[in-house]
């Protein structure tokens, strides 16, 4: 090869990464932040990507870029994560994993379009002006899984363990709806004439202490109040329930699939797919102010019969008939 041809070839090869970086920087950029952990959210991220592809044929790394940030259950990190993504001038800021994530995104920018998931009331928290006409720069999906649903879970657990006189309840006091959760569970316990022992945990050390406290009580089962911190510790919660042979009820289907006795709540994968749909619509020109906040229309009851048998529990036929999914 002649020297001139070699130099030209070397120069072209050196320019390839630069050209690739220029192409990458020209792609729309989505900021994705979550209060959860990546290890327990792979299926949710996949659902989000599915919504992007279905609606706008957007694929990460090809027709757009997605910058991801995870708080791993530490809500105090969320404001900094939101500011970091805003500083990157993202085209859309997606805030998932609960109320604290949505509020952090809204505080970080009043201009960048925001798509959120939230378990509370987005009007009360100031995220939107109304459900049907959000106004402003934010819209998203309500994941109703707290408060009265936590109370419903206690009643479902009582049906499976009717002879239990008391139950444990695990609550994260740093989760914004935690006070409403505790009050709803106390009312539900009084209604069914059962005692409950509420233990708090918002860190791994506190979770160990909560496990120890629950182990000392003669409880017939326990309710894990809905909270992203607990979701990111799902494996630990299920391992504790299995070790202590405690019937447990949880908020999402994923718990029952991984060995939990029973779960009751909305479909998270449907919610995250809808978040992807909204993000794609905004990239295509829609305004958040014109996209109504969506709400779940269906709640899934999932029962793991294999776990029930391991615990020597007989699940009432009425629950089996009404279940959306029975794992055998």
Based on the structure, what is the number of domains in the chain? 2
Same domain, 106 and 93: yes
Same domain, 157 and 195: yes
Convert the pLDDT of each residue in 45-88 to its tens digit: 999 999 999 998 999 999 999 999 999 989 999 999 999 999 99
Same domain, 315 and 206: yes
Query: According to the model, what pLDDT value does residue 18 have?
Result: 42
In 62-156 the beta strands, taken as DSSP E runs, fall at 65-70, 92-96, 114-118, 138-142
Convert the pLDDT of each residue in 126-138 to its tens digit: 999 999 999 999 9
Look at residues 200, 219, 307 and name the one whose alpha carbon lies nearest to residue 263: 307
Query: According to the model, what pLDDT value does residue 8 have?
Result: 42
Same domain, 107 and 30: yes
Convert the pLDDT of each residue in 200-226 to its tens digit: 999 999 999 999 999 999 899 999 998
294-323 average pLDDT score = 93
Q: With 0-12 CB in 10 A as exposed, 13-18 as middle and 19+ as buried, what is 298?
A: exposed
Same domain, 281 and 318: no
Same domain, 7 and 134: yes
Same domain, 253 and 273: no
In which band, very low, low, confident or very high, does the pLDDT at 244 lie, cut at 50, 70 and 90? Answer: very high
Query: According to the model, what pLDDT value does residue 226 have?
Result: 87
- State the residue range of the domain holding 185: 148-265+299-327
Look at residues 232, 248, 231 and name the one whose alpha carbon lies nearest to residue 240: 248
Average pLDDT, whole number, for the chain? 90
Query: According to the model, what pLDDT value does residue 284 have?
Result: 96
287-301 average pLDDT score = 91
In which band, very low, low, confident or very high, does the pLDDT at 24 lie, cut at 50, 70 and 90? Answer: low
In which band, very low, low, confident or very high, does the pLDDT at 145 lie, cut at 50, 70 and 90? Answer: low
Are the CB atoms for 109 and 93 separated by under 8 Å? yes
The three-state secondary structure class of 64 is strand
Same domain, 66 and 18: yes
Same domain, 173 and 124: no
Same domain, 10 and 68: yes
Indicate which CATH number applies to the domain containing 188: 3.40.50.2300
Same domain, 14 and 140: yes
Strand partners, 327: 304
Same domain, 36 and 53: yes
């Amino acid at each position: 090869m002649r020297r001139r041809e070699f130099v030209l070839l070397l120069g072209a090869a050196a320019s390839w990464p630069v050209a690739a970086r220029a192409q990458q920087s020209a792609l729309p950029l989505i900021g994705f932040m979550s209060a959860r952990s990546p290890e327990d959210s792979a299926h949710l991220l996949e659902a989000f990507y599915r919504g992007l592809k279905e609606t706008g044929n957007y694929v990460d790394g090809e027709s757009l870029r997605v910058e991801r940030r995870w708080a791993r259950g530490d809500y105090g990190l969320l404001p900094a994560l939101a500011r970091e993504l805003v500083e990157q001038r993202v085209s859309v800021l997606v805030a998932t994993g609960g109320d604290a994530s949505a509020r952090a995104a809204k505080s970080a920018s009043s201009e960048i379009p925001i798509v959120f998931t939230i378990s509370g009331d987005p009007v009360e928290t100031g995220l939107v002006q109304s459900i049907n006409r959000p106004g402003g720069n934010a819209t998203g999906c309500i994941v109703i899984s707290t408060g009265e649903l936590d109370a419903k879970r206690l009643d479902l657990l009582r049906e499976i363990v009717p002879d239990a006189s008391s139950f444990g309840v695990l609550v994260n006091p740093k989760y914004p709806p935690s006070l409403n959760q505790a009050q709803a569970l106390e009312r539900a316990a009084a209604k069914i004439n059962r005692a409950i022992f509420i233990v708090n945990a918002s860190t791994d050390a506190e979770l160990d202490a909560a496990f120890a406290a629950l182990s000392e009580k003669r409880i017939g089962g326990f309710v894990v109040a809905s909270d992203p911190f607990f979701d990111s510790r799902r494996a630990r919660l299920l391992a504790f329930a299995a070790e202590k042979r405690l019937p447990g009820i949880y908020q999402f289907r994923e718990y029952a699939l991984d060995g939990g006795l029973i779960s009751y709540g909305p479909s998270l994968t449907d919610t995250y797919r809808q978040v992807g749909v909204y993000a794609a619509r905004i990239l295509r020109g829609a305004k958040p102010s014109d996209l109504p906040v969506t709400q779940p229309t269906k709640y899934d009851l999932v029962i793991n019969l294999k776990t029930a048998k391991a615990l020597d529990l007989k699940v009432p036929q009425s629950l089996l008939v009404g279940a959306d999914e029975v794992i055998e």
